[in-house]
Amino acid sequence: MRDSVVTSGSGSETEYQLVTGNVVFDRERVDTYRVAVGCRDLGGSPQSSSVDVRVVVGDLNDNAPAFPVASYAAEVTENGEVGAEVVRVAATDADAGWNGLGNVEHFLVTVIYFCHIF
């Protein structure tokens, strides 16, 4: 994570701002940054301290669910059991929580019948 630094201060208080530089954050690549910020006085015997800052990249719904293969094939038995499972498919989504697979629905897009007419 690159950053720009602005410091200001007067008297007994100083302020440090951590701001984003020309970085495009991608939560699916890096979801959390840990930054250590230090402060040191310039006295005769310099004293210093530091604090950890945890920066979480918020998620956008920028990925569609994806199936691992382009198509599936299945077979059913003629006069088979009603309610029998035909096929089970799975999808993944790189986004998190509600943007990902936290809440999904599956639906039939098309059903195509092929009939042989004698």
Q: Which of residues 88-117 bind Ca ion (CB under 5 A)?
A: 93, 95, 99
Residue 106 DSSP label: -
Residue nearest to Ca ion (CB): 95
Q: Which stretch binds Ca ion (CB under 5 A): 15-23, 37-45, 53-61, 107-115?
A: 53-61
User: Under a CB-based contact definition with an 8 Å cutoff, are residues 35 and 56 in contact?
Assistant: no
Residue 116 DSSP label: -
Q: Binding pattern to Ca ion, positions 60-89, x when CB under 5 A?
A: xxxx--------------------------
31 forms part of the interface with Ca ion (CB under 5 A) = no
Rounded to whole angstroms, the Cα distance separating 44 from 51 reads: 23
